[in-house]
Structure 1
């Protein structure tokens, strides 16, 4: 997609297709070794799933956001719907399974704010390509009127491909956060503008055998992003945690450092804050470099609070008039 640097005001609207879970958090000093028992602290529950997280982040960054997902008829499903509603996300397209429970994730966070996550897909597994056809995804896209269609690798490859194709038919810019990395159809990857991955996912897509160099991860990511542009997808963003992110288009590649948070409390959901904020800024018609700057700022803000969507209260409401001028990407 050709990006404009003009100041034309566009009403940002994002349609998110993705997973929704009930997250259960446990805070521990250290993760247990196999066979070891440890005592946890301050267990709590909250909204989760990459799709639901990113929908809330996009809404909080100023885009009117519609979420398409699948939950059960249980208390977890009611919790997901209520929490999304409370965060301003449109849940009119949220589907309900008559047989599967709402998805669940069990998250342990250690004293260094690192996490381990076990996910039970539940109703998310029923969000298939056939389900999109049954619920007329083309009509939903036309009705929602999004400027960005966003999904993630937690869904099946066929579902992702069907959503990419429907976005193309509706003339909507398709953004794919391929997390985790999955064998998605090449046409869906080519349609991604951008494809957003972390360093491990980028390495899997690029089929690299050696680990990314810890001492110069930025240079490696810049080269990898440039290699993927035009061969795998239209544009590429590789997130690098505390080191920010790199991005590449046909015009070149660049590194966007991350603001340093005053305190790192919990890294859970920081990547989803990045993706949701980036999608919201793109939805307003702003260039990718500007969206990446918002993304790293959102991810940095998210790590300063516990949980996922609870930490997104720190995201500033997107103000079209206050966005800084855009800098052109430079070749790496």
Structure 2
């Protein structure tokens, strides 16, 4: 990976408002919290921060509002050394926000209001010039309109880059067939896998069956994330399982985003699929050991220490 072939992230940028509590409230219930925090979020921004903290050159493409939250988001991305020259300020829409409840076990529930993220369009791809065609890897999610994401995928593949899609949030009824053929790698977690192929994987055997179904739909590489139970991967050269790393989870909010950021970095530098998935799994595990979204992403030195 060189500076001329960056990792490009095309996706959502939010400000997260996190409330911490001993347990999440049931419907209609109010609970006392133990603290709160505000920070950078959105799956796109989280993945950009994660890849950048690992030492990659990262370009963030998307939209924020022309408001205080937008200014905060741009400033925080710059703090992570993410390039924001193609992050548009949209005067007609507010910056996206996420309201997140996190209980002491690390489990969470999230309500996202997309705001400017939902105004992202295929025109934003064209406006970025040759950026997408120069990408080594493109990171996509489903927190922006699908047609815009597919336009970006086509531009990156035309330039010889690889496309990783985090299918989150997975729509009810799954995804159309052309999405599976438009990307190179897909990384669903348990609930997303169930939405896509009707299998909620609880162990490697279930994950292998789900990955086979994803491949039947035209996907080249399927990576099924099982949270604290590990990761199953399937690609043209074979399949395998990466067991979980022994860490103590504090907050799982952006573990999947750190996984994807790590995966992009590993693939961009030429790692084979088994090594890339193991590296990504270590990134995701470390992200659970601290609070926050983008702020929880580990450094390359921390990942190297965990991998031994």
Q: When the two structures are superposed, what TM-score results if normalisation uses the length of structure 2?
A: 0.92
Cα 1:31/1:101, change in 2 over 3 Å: same
Aligned length: 303
Mapped contact 1:28–1:108 kept (Cα < 8 A):
yes
1:205 is aligned, of 184, 187, 196, to: 196
Aligned residue in 1 for 2:163: 174
Deviation of 1:176 after TM superposition, in Å, equals 0.9
Q: Which runs of 5+ in 1 are unaligned?
A: 1-8, 325-332
**Mapping 1:225-264, distance limit 5 Å:** 225-229=211-215, 231-261=217-247, 263-264=248-249
Q: Which runs of 5+ in 2 are unaligned?
A: none
SS at match of 1:197: coil
Aligned residue in 2 for 1:219: 205
Matched, 1:22 2:22: no
C-alpha separation in 2, matches of 1:202 and 1:159: 23
Aligned residue in 1 for 2:279: 294
C-alpha separation in 1, matches of 2:54 and 2:212: 28
More moved, 57-66 vs 31-40: 31-40
Mapped contact 1:237–1:248 kept (Cα < 8 A):
yes
Q: CA RMSD in A?
A: 2.1
Deviation of 1:317 after TM superposition, in Å, equals 7.5
SS at match of 1:139: coil
SS at match of 2:290: coil
Deviation of 1:13 after TM superposition, in Å, equals 2.3
Cα 1:315/1:244, change in 2 over 3 Å: farther
C-alpha separation in 2, matches of 1:230 and 1:173: 20
More moved, 176-185 vs 102-111: 176-185
Matched, 1:156 2:145: yes
Deviation of 1:140 after TM superposition, in Å, equals 2.3
Matched, 1:40 2:21: no
Deviation of 1:62 after TM superposition, in Å, equals 2.2
